[in-house]
Amino acid sequence: MRKAIFITGGGSGIGRAVAQRFAREGWFVGLADISESGMAETAALLPQGASSTHKLDVRDRAAWGAALADFASAAGGRIDVVFNNAGVPLGGPVVDLAPEEIERTLDINLKGVIFGAQAAHPWLKASAPGSVLLNTASAAGLYGTPGASVYSATKFGVRGVTESLDGEWAADGIAVRDLMPGFIETPLLDHAPNRASNEDIRTRVQGAGLEITPVGAVADAAWAAVQGQKLHTLVGPTARRMAFFSRFLPGAVRKQVRNAGRALG
């Protein structure tokens, strides 16, 4: 039977690249997003008959259950991987962020992942062993940096959810993994970090001298994570550097972060 993966945020960026990667491997792909036009664009890039689309706001727990049931029906009755990928960026000094921005980021990036895990569990248990819950965390979940407090909080949370469920679901035969990318070439880079900013994220990243990793690297990492044994998969030079220095040179990282905070202020 053809394997099936359900991808949130499938209408663009990382979700679209992962959909293309798994479709090339012969998987049936479920695209979930709030953007119907984005899902249609992604579906047009996939082989005919290789996907289904499901409008989903990941903040809606009931909608999760309905979307997964619809996808399972389209996929032939089983779900092998659920990719909790939908997310939004948020940056800037915490005192400058609007409460609505904070709540939206927490709801989508963290609560959406938890709701997705709850809804996915019975489907993944039914297709175990070999089924996988894959979450998109971030290099921002390795060490908190100035101007990214709320976003980092959500990604530290996703990392914690991944580690907890890796143990919690082991007896069910479900593997739990996450991806920890740095800055990735997606449309999110062209958004402002918050509603008060007139400068996009890409400009800030380039101004800081940081590299932007091709989105295909994340798609390859997702494939490797589903096939392999790693709990956390680092993607891109920024993520690998942050992981190394935060583990082996934490004092140096703290000094650099504090200097960056002074510059931000």
- Among this protein's residues, is 151 annotated catalytic? yes
* Cβ 174 vs Cβ 133: under 8 Å: yes
Beta bridge partners of 82: 6, 133
Q: What are phi and psi of 220, to 5 degrees?
A: -65, -40
Beta bridge partners of 102: none
Please report, as a single letter, which amino acid is at residue 204: R
Q: What are phi and psi of 194, to 5 degrees?
A: -155, 170
CA pair distance 224, 227, nearest whole angstrom: 5
Question: What would the two tokens of residue 104 be?
Answer: 């939206």
| Dihedral angle over CA of 66, 68, 70, 74, nearest 10 | 180
Catalytic option among 64, 71, 83, 151: 151
| Residues assigned a catalytic role | 151
